[in-house]
Amino acid sequence: MGRHKRGLPVHGWVCLDKPLEMGSTQAVSRVRRLFDARKAGHAGTLDPLASGILPIALGEATKTVPFMQDARKTYRFVIEWGASTTTQDREGEVVARSDVRPDPEQVAAALTAFVGDINQVPPAFSAIKVDGARAYDLARDGQTVELKSRPVTIHQASVTAVPDLDHIEITVLTGKGVYIRSLARDLASVLGAEGHVSLLRRERVGPFGLENAVGLEFLEDLVHRGAASEGLLPITTALDDIPDLAVTDEDAFRLRQGRSIVLLPRQMEAIQARLSAGSQTVSAVQGNEPVALCSLKAGRLEPDRVFNLQT
């Protein structure tokens, strides 16, 4: 007799507008408990001192999390001039002060050097592992943490507001792995100033944005009204860049059994015209329901991840 699975078979994405002072793991746990879901995961960590978009996958949607790893992200953040901190944000201790207050034109000009493919050194207070330990744990213990620079991409960066002389707001569109605190640190250094991030908000992760985001209080209200499903986005939300192919009942059955299916020439032609450069991933669908994520190989679809939505 099989072991009873705890929780409900809830499948889909929650585009959570994460509040301040809450870690990503804590946010995932809260959402999982609200839905009483068997499985949960997230696409892209967000610091406790940052708010905004945290896509949370429930149930079979967790199988699409890897497809969010390369998603572009939009961040809006504020640099407070005058002081640099150990953590490069308002949580850390002040380590340097300066009277330099760069004007918006100087900041905008300096930002151009950070747009494109650049090398960036992550902050010491980060979750990167050093000899098996988290960098932030070593830094909190007073150890010197030296992290290697890594290639990252910033697609766009611009000054979007100047609240006062001590603060400037910047909005950036980034690839994966960009640390906004490192960007603020390096920008201040180029400008001969001291500064730290006083506000950070993530406004988009791939297809997940503020327009389809929900807060924890809203989700709690939905759950209490028995309308939790209204807070869920489809599993396929994370697959907007992956072409889909409608399959027959027979082919859907084969894919769910882990067997490949042969494509007709017209199907091959249609799929190949929609594939992104270098990708061979296709989403097989039956009606509005995803069946499997497949690899296109020699005129066949071979299932890599099968969605079990009936359990």
What residues act catalytically? 47
Q: Which two tokens stand for residue 311?
A: 């359990």
Q: How many CB atoms lie within 10 A of CB 198?
A: 18
| Ramachandran category for residue 116: left, alpha or beta (phi over 0 → left; psi -120 to 50 → alpha) | left
